[in-house]
């Protein structure tokens, strides 16, 4: 993976479930900056030279210089709003600015001066954290005594919306409420939302994505995965849409780039916005993903792939439309099979089982603890069991059974017509005024991703799979529409029904789809379009399933913090700190520069060098480094960034840091807090790291800043940018 890819995100009802028990080991931990002072001894022992206190303030240096791009991390590296992130994080902006004549993706790009900096792709943002407020008491106080799961969910949802709305009164800011430890803590995070983001420099794809999908997840690695943006604001200093008169944003803080590099064994830390992890799930949860979730979903996705491949075989137009979905399904199934291979070698279920036993024994050994937490583990296990009893329906009905693009559009539109009857603040998330643009875009995108024959072929199979579900998991309205009785479905009748639906719908037409955005519920109910009719017919059951999922989520949100509180207390009794699962908030991970042994008699050393590019290069994508780069390496033009021990220039390096999707572009800093690299990937052996951090083999991969600087100096002559970052060259 590149760290951009967020980990698997199950349906809402299953999302935010579980906890349990992972005692932090030396390098494990995505720590909240405010926790670092507690870890001062360990940080110092590893070699940190600055005061851990200085790392704990999100609005001060260096943490304030670490910014979010929404899905990726980046850093300010000059007083003039210069931003560094991964090439794969700026990929969309590079593609957006590429034309056949001026192919920036292929050739790379360096703006000659600020006037030549290019607008990033639409929607690109830089988020700078300006305030963090603990709102736990406000959120929890709102929940009525004895609330049901559904009531609890609704109350928390409403309170969060209110807090966000109030916070966002401050124009130019985006606010989010983030949950920690499954609901034990809530924080309101306020970020400056910079909307004018421009592309400053990107290396050629053959550098920035060197090794491509083949090297993805792999070590040894030789990827120059960096790019530069610049953040612009209006002349008044406030966020503004792109405009020629805008000026570079002057960040309060920026990172110092160190050209000196690091050495094996050195202290290292990274700050970034990891998306989500599952480190505290129960043994029964781990067992379920191993035994059911990944294998069953993997199989279903492979079947889906087969159908798409078959039904697009002689249709190049359709095949292009489905290329994105095919790539996604391929990537996911490869990831699942890697995860399963990783789990097969792991004793995670046994370890979690043992930890749960220890925790329960500790709880039971004290009457007061037993009173408070005694039932938490059992309660949680029961909720998990209930959730798992529904997971086949979630997959075969909720996720795939309704998975026709036209039905999806019709359901969204009818739901929108219903939600529009309410005041904006009371609407379901996703159907508020702020969401209309996104809905329109999504209706629009069907033009490039929908083909009736492919949609119908896949949906037909999904309906057949759904029909095999136990009858008590069926949805009556759905059965009635397709004439499904018990588990039996007449294939000829189904084919005829589908043929008729696709023949008689106007939902394939963009104008028609968009026009329904303005319609009333009555108009839907009177329509004779078969997809609209089906959406109307399913509506009550859709709402029922959604409410049921909210009820379950509410129950999880009530039970989870109780067990997590016990967990934290238990670990405190062992003198161990506990970090919360990743939740897209700023975290710090620290450890050291270190290789590993992937197999008996094989050692991976922690640095790759320019020489490895010569070794790998075949001249064919993705191992087609630019000719001038190959020549520079052959001629040993190491310039200012030569490493004597390596007798070359360092390219990528390995650390023991703890990272996941969302960490891409994270500032990798030395013991002084200076920028020495950019985090961009994990190693193949850490594919199950979201579930299980295994110290001897879990590694994070970084691009060495010396490689970035070498490329800028030797290949692009980016002297102005180097000077802007205060880098002196020979």
Binding site for its own copies (CB under 8 A): 219-220, 222, 595, 599-609, 611-612, 615-616
Q: Among 88, 201, 474, 702, which one carries the catalytic annotation?
A: 88
Give the helix/strand (H/E) hosting 337.
helix 323-344
Among the listed residues 230, 297, 267, the one whose alpha carbon sits nearest the alpha carbon of residue 67: 230
Report, in Å, the least distance between residue 535 CB and its own copies.
48
Report, in Å, the least distance between residue 623 CB and its own copies.
13
Cα angle: 294, vertex 377, 397; to 5 degrees: 35
- Residue whose CB is less far from its own copies, 393 or 706: 706
Among the listed residues 86, 6, 59, the one whose alpha carbon sits nearest the alpha carbon of residue 664: 86
- Residue whose CB is less far from its own copies, 217 or 524: 217
- Residue whose CB is less far from its own copies, 448 or 603: 603
- Residue whose CB is less far from its own copies, 141 or 344: 344
- Residue whose CB is less far from its own copies, 64 or 656: 656
Query: Known catalytic residue: 107?
Result: no
DSSP of 465-484, one letter per residue? HHHTS-GGGS-HHHHHHHT-
- Residue whose CB is less far from its own copies, 171 or 602: 602
Report, in Å, the least distance between residue 78 CB and its own copies.
31
3-class SS letters over 480-506: HHHCCECCECCHHHHHHHHHHHHHHCC
Q: What are the C-alpha distances in Å from 132 to residues 34, 69, 72, 586?
A: 11, 18, 20, 11
- Residue whose CB is less far from its own copies, 119 or 612: 612
Query: Known catalytic residue: 488?
Result: no
In whole angstroms, what is the distance from residue 388 CA to residue 26 CA? 34
Give the helix/strand (H/E) hosting 227.
strand 227-233
Q: What are the C-alpha distances in Å from 454 to residues 395, 405, 449?
A: 20, 10, 10
Among the listed residues 143, 11, 176, the one whose alpha carbon sits nearest the alpha carbon of residue 561: 143
Report, in Å, the least distance between residue 262 CB and its own copies.
15
In whole angstroms, what is the distance from residue 286 CA to residue 296 CA? 15
Query: Known catalytic residue: 225?
Result: yes
In whole angstroms, what is the distance from residue 164 CA to residue 332 CA? 33
Cα angle: 38, vertex 43, 48; to 5 degrees: 130
Report, in Å, the least distance between residue 617 CB and its own copies.
11
Q: Among 227, 404, 664, 666, which one carries the catalytic annotation?
A: 664
Report, in Å, the least distance between residue 556 CB and its own copies.
38
**Longest Cα–Cα distance in the chain:** 79
Give the helix/strand (H/E) hosting 41.
helix 40-46
Q: Among 196, 215, 225, 692, which one carries the catalytic annotation?
A: 225
Report, in Å, the least distance between residue 696 CB and its own copies.
12
Q: Check if the beta carbon of residue 568 is closer than 8 Å to that of residue 32.
A: no
CB atoms within 10 A of CB 281: 24
Give the helix/strand (H/E) hosting 239.
none
User: In a 10 Å sphere around its CB, with 0-12 CB exposed, 13-18 middle and 19+ buried, how is residue 115 labelled?
Assistant: exposed
- Residue whose CB is less far from its own copies, 79 or 612: 612
Catalytic residue positions, numbered:
88, 225, 664
């Amino acid at each position: 993976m590149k760290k951009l890819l967020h980990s698997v995100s199950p349906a809402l009802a299953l999302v935010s479930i579980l906890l349990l028990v992972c005692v932090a080991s030396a390098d494990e931990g995505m720590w909240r900056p405010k926790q670092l002072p507690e870890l001062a001894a360990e940080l110092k022992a590893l070699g940190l030279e600055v005061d851990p206190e200085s790392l704990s303030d999100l609005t001060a240096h260096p943490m304030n210089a670490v910014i979010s791009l929404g899905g990726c991390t980046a850093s300010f590296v000059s007083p003039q709003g210069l931003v560094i992130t991964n090439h794969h994080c700026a990929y969309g902006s590079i593609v957006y600015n590429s034309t056949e004549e001026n192919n920036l993706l292929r050739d790379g790009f360096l703006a000659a001066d600020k006037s030549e900096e290019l607008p990033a792709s639409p929607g690109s943002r830089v988020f700078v954290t300006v305030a963090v407020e603990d709102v736990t008491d406000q959120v929890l106080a709102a929940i009525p005594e004895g609330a049901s799961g559904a009531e609890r969910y609704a109350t928390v949802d409403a309170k969060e919306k209110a807090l966000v709305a109030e916070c966002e009164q401050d124009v130019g800011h985006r606010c989010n409420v983030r949950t920690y430890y499954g609901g034990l803590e809530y924080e309101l995070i306020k970020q400056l939302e910079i909307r004018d983001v421009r592309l400053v420099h990107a290396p050629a794809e053959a550098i920035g994505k060197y090794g491509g999908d083949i090297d993805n997840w792999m070590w040894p690695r030789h990827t120059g995965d960096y790019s530069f943006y610049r953040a612009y604001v209006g002349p008044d200093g406030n966020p503004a849409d792109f405009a020629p008169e805008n000026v570079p944003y002057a960040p309060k803080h920026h990172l110092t780039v160190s050209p000196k590099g690091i050495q094996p064994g050195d202290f290292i830390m990274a700050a970034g916005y990891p998306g989500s992890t599952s480190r505290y799930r129960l043994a029964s949860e781990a067992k379920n993903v191993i035994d059911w979730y990944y294998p069953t979903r993997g199989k279903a996705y492979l079947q889906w792939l087969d159908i798409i491949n078959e039904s697009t075989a002689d249709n190049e137009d359709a095949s292009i439309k489905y290329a994105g979905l095919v790539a996604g399904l391929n990537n996911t199934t490869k990831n699942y099979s890697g995860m399963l291979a990783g789990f097969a070698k792991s004793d995670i279920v046994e370890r979690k089982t043992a930890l749960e036993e220890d925790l329960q024994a500790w709880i039971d050994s004290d009457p007061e603890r037993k009173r408070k937490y005694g039932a938490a583990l059992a309660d949680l296990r029961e909720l998990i069991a209930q959730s798992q009893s529904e997971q086949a329906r979630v997959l075969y009905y909720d996720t795939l059974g309704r998975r026709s693009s036209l039905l999806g559009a019709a359901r969204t539109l009818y739901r929108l017509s219903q939600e529009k009857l309410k005041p904006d603040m009371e609407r379901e998330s996703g159907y508020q005024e702020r969401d209309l643009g996104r809905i329109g875009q999504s209706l629009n995108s069907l033009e490039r991703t929908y083909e009736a024959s492919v949609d119908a072929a896949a949906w037909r199979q999904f309906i057949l799979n759904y029909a095999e579900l136990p009858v008590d998991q069926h949805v009556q309205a759905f059965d009635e529409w397709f004439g499904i009785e018990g588990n039996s479905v007449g294939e000829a009748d189904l084919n005829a029904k589908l043929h008729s639906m696709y023949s008689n719908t106007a939902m394939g037409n963009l104008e028609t789809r968009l026009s329904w955005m303005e319609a009333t519920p009555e108009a839907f109910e009177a329509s004779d379009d078969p997809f609209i009719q089906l959406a109307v017919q399913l509506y009550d059951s859709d709402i029922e399933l959604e409410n049921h999922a909210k009820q379950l989520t509410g129950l999880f949100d009530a039970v989870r913090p109780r067990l997590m509180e016990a967990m934290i207390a238990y670990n405190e009794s062992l003198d161990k700190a506990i970090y919360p699962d990743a939740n897209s908030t700023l975290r710090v991970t620290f450890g050291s520069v270190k290789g590993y042994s992937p197999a008996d008699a094989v050692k991976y050393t922690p640095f790759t060098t320019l020489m490895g590019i010569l070794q790998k290069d075949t001249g064919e994508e993705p191992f087609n480094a630019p000719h001038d780069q190959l020549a520079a390496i052959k001629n040993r033009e190491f310039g200012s960034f030569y490493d004597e021990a390596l007798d070359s220039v360092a390219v990528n390096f390995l650390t023991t840091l703890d990272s996941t999707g969302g960490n891409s572009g994270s500032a990798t800093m030395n013991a002084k807090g200076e920028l020495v690299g950019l985090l961009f990937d994990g190693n193949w052996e850490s594919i199950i790291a979201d579930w299980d951090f295994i110290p001897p083999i879990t590694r994070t991969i970084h691009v060495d800043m010396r490689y970035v600087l070498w490329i800028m100096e030797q290949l692009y002559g980016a002297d102005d940018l180097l000077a802007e970052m205060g880098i002196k060259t020979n």
